[in-house]
Amino acid sequence: MAEEKELRYDPSVIEPKWQQRWAADPKLYAAEPAGSGKPKYYVLEMLPYPSGQLHMGHVRNYAIGDALARQMWMRGYNVLHPMGWDAFGLPAENAAIKNNTPPREWTLANIAAMKRQFNRLGMGFDWATEVTTCLPDYYRWNQWFFLRMYERGLVYRKKSKVNWCPECCTVLANEQVIDGRCWRHEDTIVEQRDLEQWFFRITSYAQELLDGLDKLDGWPEKVRTMQRNWIGRSEGTEVDFFLAESAVNAQNDDCSPRTIPAGRRIRVFTTRVDTIFGATSIQLAPEHPLVIDLAGKDAGLRTQVAQLLDEQKKAREAGDVGAIEKHGVPTGHFAINPFNGERIPIWVANYILADYGTGAIMSVPGHDARDFEFATKYAIPIRRVIAPATPPANAEESELPFLTEDGILVNSGEFDSLTCEAAQKRLAQIAKEKGFGEATVTFRIKDWGVSRQRYWGTPIPMIHCKTDGVVPVPDDQLPVILPEQIEITQQGGSPLARVSEFVNVTCPKCGQPARRETDTMDTFVDSSWYFYRYTDAKNSKAPFDSATIKHWFPIDQYIGGVEHAILHLIYSRFWTRVMRDLGLITNDEPVTRLFTQGMVIKDGFKMSKNRGNVVSPDDMIARYGADATRTYALFAAPPDRDLDWQEDGVAGVSRFLGRVYRIVMKHAATARSASGAPSQPPAGTSLRLLRKLHQTIAKITHDFEGRWHFNTCIAAIMELVNELTAADAQLESGEVPAPAVRELLTNLVLLLAPFAPYLAAELWEELGGQAAPFRAPWPKSDPGLAKEDEIEIPVQVNGKLVNVVRVPAGSASEVIQAAALADEKVKSRIAGKTIAKVIVVPGKTVNLVVR
C-alpha cells in the first residue's frame, strides 16, 4: 500500500524540480553556432506584449511552438527558439497615470512576472537572446534605421489628414483603424485631424509586397488574400476633363460674377476608360480642392457640400460606407470630355472619396451600378456604349440598366467595334500623346504614419532648427534616450514636449538652439524587425550581424494569431525589403511558413475580462500542472481551429499523464535491468505491444510532421498507454522480456517529450536516460514490427456492411474473395440470389453485387 502511494503523479513536485535544474543549465535551449553541421530551423512565436499576465491564447500559441521546437531538436535540427517582449506601448502609460508607477518600472516588473510564467510552463526558450524593445540597446536601432530610411527618402514629414483615436490620444496608422474604429478600442470611432506627421514610404514597395505574396505558399491563403485586399492594386487610366468657361453660380467677394478660366482641368481616375463616351457627368468628392473654387460665394451650395461631407463621415464612422444613400448636388459648372468635346455637368457627391484615385470620377451610368443608381435618382442621361460581344438570344437582356461586363464598343465614334481591352489601351495611349492623361496604377495602401503623440515609445531622432529646418540626429549621438522621470498625462499632446531638458538641444548643423522632435514611433516599428535581433541580441555595433542572418533567415516557421494579418505581418515584410535595399540582408521575405492558430473560446465566446470567462493559466498550473495544461491546449482541437476550453478536459489529460507516470514508474526497474537486444524475436503479448508501439511512432511522426494534428498525436499516445495498462500483468510477470519493456517505455517517454516535457524528463531519468529526452533522437518506426500479419476486411453486399473477415496481410484478391464468400453471415445474406459482380479492393474491402 505504501508503495502504491508513492506512485501518485504529482506535478507540483516534479515540475518545480526540473524547472530548477533547467534554469541551472542556460545552454539547454541554446542554438548552436552556424558551423555545427546540423540543418538549421528557426521556429518563432509572436512575442507578447508584457501586460503582466499570460492568458490562455498565449499558452496555446507557445505550447504549439514549443512542441515543434522540441520535436525538431529530437529530429536533429539546430533549432533557434527565442523569446522577447514587445515592451513599448500605451498600457504602460495608462498604468502610470492610474497607479503613479513609471512606465519602465511597470513594464519591467510585468516582464519579470511573465518570464516566471513562461519558465513555470516549461517553455524551451533561449533567454540568452532575449529582446526587450523598450530598452535603449534595442530602440537605438529603430532610430538608426529611421535615419537610414530618411537618407533614402523612405521617411518623410507631411501635413495631412490622419486618424486620431480620442481614447489613445494619438494618431493611428491606417492599418490600426478597423471599420472606422481604433484597433485597441473597438467602441471608439477614429476622428480625422490635420497634423504634421512622419511617414514611412511603404507605398514604394506596394507592388513588390503584392508580387511577393504569390511566392509565399507556406502562408495561409486567407492571410495572403487579406494582404492583397489591403494593398488594393487597381489598373486604370487618369484622364483630364477640361472645365468649360462658366460664370453661373460663381461670384467674387464683391458679388461680381466670377469666371473660372477655361483650360483648368479635372483629373479623374477610371478603370474603364473604354466607357468614356458614356460619361454623362463628373462627380467630385466633397473634399476635392476644386469644390471650393466652383462653389465660390454660393452659400447654399457650400452648405449642401458640407452636408454631403458630413454624410460621408458618418457612414465611415459607422463602418458602413457601402450602405450610404447616394446624394449629390450639381455645381452648375460643366466639363468637356477630351475625347468627344461633350459638355457634361459637374456634381459633388457623397459617395466619392477624396483619398482614393484623384477624388474625382467620370460617371458612366450605362455601365456602372453605382453611377446607374445615382443617375436614375437625379435624372442624368444614361447611355449605352458597350454591347455584349455575343448578343444575347433574348433581346430584353441587352436592355439597360447596364452591362458591366466587357464587350464591344458602340456609340463611341472612331472607337466603335473595338473590344474593351483594346479600347482601354488605345484611349490611354491617345490621352498620353495629347497630354490629357495616362495609364496608371493606383493602390489602396497608404504610407505608414509612424508619429505617436505619446511618451512610451522610441524617440524619433530628429531635430527642428529655425535655420536648417529638419536635421537628423547624427549617428554618434544615438541613442536618443527616452527620459525617465517625467510627468505623464493624456492631455496636451506629446508628454515629451514638456520635458525641457529633452526638447532643448543645439542644432547639429549650425549649433544654434533647436527643438527636438517630441513624437515617438509607432510600436509596430519595434516588432517589424525584432526577430532579426534575436540572432545577435547583444550587438552594440550594429543591429545584427549580416552573416548570422544569412544562416538563420528566413524564419522557417512563424506562429501567431490571425489578427496581425495586415498589421505586423505587412510591416515586417516591408521592413525586410528596406533592410535588403540597405544592403544589410539578402532575403526578400522574413517568414517562409506562417501558421495562424485559432482562438481560445469558453462557453461559446472568446475569453475576455468583460465577459468574465477568463481562465487563468496560473490557476490551471496550480491544479493540474504545466504539462497537463499545455497538453490539453494541444489535445482539445487541431491548432488552426478555435479551442473550446473545458476544465474537465484538463482533468482528463491530467489523469492520462498519471497513467503514463504509473505504468513507467512501475516497470522502470525492469527496463533498467535490460541489457542488450532480446534473445528471441518478440511473440505473444510482446509482439502485440511492440507492434502497437511502432504503429504509434509512425502515426505520430506523420501527424506531427505533415499535418500538425497534435490532437491525434496525443490520442495515439493515449491508445498506446491504454494497451500497456491492459498488459500490466504481463509486464509484471516477466512474460514481456526486459529488453521489450525497455523499448516500450523509453519510446513512450520520447513520444511524450514535445508535449509534456516535465513528465518526460522525470521518467527519462527514472529509465536511466542521459541528458534530456528532448535532446534524444526522435523514435524511428520499424516497418517490419509495425506490420500486422492479419488484417480485417469489411464485406459489403450491395454496398451494405454485412461482416468482417480476417485474412493474412497482403492477401491476393482471390484469397480475400474466397474468405468473403465462405463467411456464414455473407452466405445467408446472398442465399438464393445471383452474384452479378464482385469488387475486391485488396487491403480495403469486398463488395458483392447481387440480384
User: Please, which of residues 776-805 interact with RNA by CB under 7 A?
Assistant: 792, 794, 796, 798-801, 804
Alpha-carbon distance of 783 to 316, in angstroms, equals 62
Pattern 295-334, binding to RNA, x per CB under 7 A?
--------------------------xx-xxx--------
DSSP classification of residue 498: G
The answer to whether 603 contacts RNA (rule: CB under 7 A) is no
Q: How far is the CB of 119 from RNA (least distance, A)?
A: 24
Q: How far is the CB of 597 from RNA (least distance, A)?
A: 13
Q: Which residue's CB is nearer to RNA, number 135 or number 177? A: 177
Q: How far is the CB of 70 from RNA (least distance, A)?
A: 21
Interface positions, 679-708, toward RNA (CB under 7 A): 699, 702, 706
Q: Which residue's CB is nearer to RNA, number 585 or number 720? A: 720
CA 596 to mean position of chain CA atoms: 6
Q: How far is the CB of 825 from RNA (least distance, A)?
A: 6
Q: How far is the CB of 794 from RNA (least distance, A)?
A: 3
Q: How far is the CB of 799 from RNA (least distance, A)?
A: 3
The answer to whether 637 contacts RNA (rule: CB under 7 A) is yes
Q: Which stretch binds RNA (CB under 7 A): 59-67, 259-267, 759-767, 833-841?
A: 833-841
DSSP classification of residue 394: S
Give helix 206-215 / helix 221-231 axis angle, nearest 10°: 160
Beta bridge partners of 486: none
CA 421 to mean position of chain CA atoms: 36
Give yes or no for a contact between 589 and 216, defined as CB atoms under 8 angstroms apart. Answer: yes
The answer to whether 269 contacts RNA (rule: CB under 7 A) is yes
The answer to whether 641 contacts RNA (rule: CB under 7 A) is yes
For 434, counting Cβ atoms within 10 Å of its Cβ (0-12 exposed, 13-18 middle, 19+ buried), the class is exposed
Q: Which stretch binds RNA (CB under 7 A): 17-25, 84-92, 485-493, 840-848?
A: 840-848
The label of the residue with cell 502610470 reads 96
The answer to whether 622 contacts RNA (rule: CB under 7 A) is no
DSSP assignments along 737-789, one per residue: -HHHHHHHHHHHHHHHTTT-HHHHHHHHHHTT--S-GGGSPPP---HHHH--S
Query: Which set of grid coordinates corresponds to residue 777?
Result: 533522437
Q: How far is the CB of 744 from RNA (least distance, A)?
A: 16
Q: Within 10 Å of residue 163's Cβ, how many Cβ atoms?
A: 20
N- to C-terminal Cα distance for the chain?
66
Pattern 334-353, binding to RNA, x per CB under 7 A?
----------------xxxx
The answer to whether 832 contacts RNA (rule: CB under 7 A) is no
> Measuring CA to CA, which residue among 190, 159, 158 is closest to residue 174?
190
Q: Which stretch binds RNA (CB under 7 A): 152-160, 181-189, 192-200, 647-655?
A: 647-655
The answer to whether 401 contacts RNA (rule: CB under 7 A) is no
Alpha-carbon distance of 341 to 88, in angstroms, equals 59
**Among 646, 672, 688, 786, interactor with RNA by CB under 7 A:** 646
Is it true that the peptide bond before 388 is cis, omega within 30 degrees of 0?
no
CA 831 to mean position of chain CA atoms: 62
Give yes or no for a contact between 407 and 420, defined as CB atoms under 8 angstroms apart. Answer: yes
Q: How far is the CB of 161 from RNA (least distance, A)?
A: 14
> Measuring CA to CA, which residue among 63, 210, 220, 88 is closest to residue 564?
220
Half-sphere exposure of 465 (CA within 13 A, CB side): 18
The answer to whether 636 contacts RNA (rule: CB under 7 A) is yes
Q: Which residue's CB is nearer to RNA, number 719 or number 765? A: 719
Q: Which residue's CB is nearer to RNA, number 730 or number 796? A: 796
Q: Which residue's CB is nearer to RNA, number 818 or number 841? A: 841
Amino acid occupying residue 529:
W
Amino acid occupying residue 708:
W
Number of residues that bind RNA (CB under 7 A): 87
**Is the alpha carbon torsion for 532, 537, 538, 540 positive or negative?**
positive
Interface positions, 191-250, toward RNA (CB under 7 A): 221-222, 225-226, 229-230, 232, 234, 236
Q: How far is the CB of 787 from RNA (least distance, A)?
A: 14
Alpha-carbon distance of 543 to 478, in angstroms, equals 13
**Among 658, 737, 769, 842, interactor with RNA by CB under 7 A:** 658
Alpha-carbon distance of 654 to 620, in angstroms, equals 11
**Among 335, 621, 714, 816, interactor with RNA by CB under 7 A:** 714
Using CA atoms in the order 225, 227, 229, 233, what is the torsion angle rounded to 10 degrees? -120
Q: How far is the CB of 352 from RNA (least distance, A)?
A: 4
Q: How far is the CB of 458 from RNA (least distance, A)?
A: 27
Interface positions, 551-590, toward RNA (CB under 7 A): 562, 566
CA 774 to mean position of chain CA atoms: 29
Q: Which residue's CB is nearer to RNA, number 2 or number 24? A: 2
Q: How far is the CB of 838 from RNA (least distance, A)?
A: 9
Q: Which residue's CB is nearer to RNA, number 158 or number 825? A: 825
Q: How far is the CB of 826 from RNA (least distance, A)?
A: 10
**Among 442, 490, 613, 730, interactor with RNA by CB under 7 A:** 442
Q: Which residue's CB is nearer to RNA, number 736 or number 772? A: 736
Give yes or no for a contact between 374 and 283, defined as CB atoms under 8 angstroms apart. Answer: yes
Interface positions, 137-166, toward RNA (CB under 7 A): none
The answer to whether 709 contacts RNA (rule: CB under 7 A) is yes
Is it true that the peptide bond before 681 is cis, omega within 30 degrees of 0?
no
Q: Which residue's CB is nearer to RNA, number 135 or number 422? A: 422
283-296 b/e (C-beta count within 10 Å ≥ 16 → b): bbbbbbebbeebbb
**Among 656, 704, 708, 764, interactor with RNA by CB under 7 A:** 656
Give yes or no for a contact between 578 and 186, defined as CB atoms under 8 angstroms apart. Answer: no
Q: Which residue's CB is nearer to RNA, number 268 or number 749? A: 268
The answer to whether 831 contacts RNA (rule: CB under 7 A) is no
- CA dist 778 to 139, 436, 748, Å? 40, 69, 11
DSSP classification of residue 238: E
Radius of gyration of the chain, Cα coordinates, nearest whole angstrom: 35
Q: Which residue's CB is nearer to RNA, number 342 or number 373? A: 373
Interface positions, 40-99, toward RNA (CB under 7 A): none
β-strands 84-85, 131-132: how paired? parallel
> Measuring CA to CA, which residue among 406, 290, 297, 394 is closest to residue 348?
290
Q: How far is the CB of 411 from RNA (least distance, A)?
A: 19
The answer to whether 356 contacts RNA (rule: CB under 7 A) is yes
Q: Which stretch binds RNA (CB under 7 A): 43-51, 295-303, 474-482, 637-645?
A: 637-645
Q: Which residue's CB is nearer to RNA, number 468 or number 647? A: 647
β-strands 643-644, 600-602: how paired? parallel
Q: How far is the CB of 776 from RNA (least distance, A)?
A: 24
**Among 128, 718, 785, 815, interactor with RNA by CB under 7 A:** 718
**Among 52, 91, 401, 652, interactor with RNA by CB under 7 A:** 652
Q: Three-state SS for 452? A: strand
Q: Which residue's CB is nearer to RNA, number 1 or number 395? A: 1
Q: Within 10 Å of residue 467's Cβ, how many Cβ atoms?
A: 11
Q: Which stretch binds RNA (CB under 7 A): 195-203, 746-754, 755-763, 838-846?
A: 838-846
Give yes or no for a contact between 447 and 440, defined as CB atoms under 8 angstroms apart. Answer: no
Q: How far is the CB of 798 from RNA (least distance, A)?
A: 6
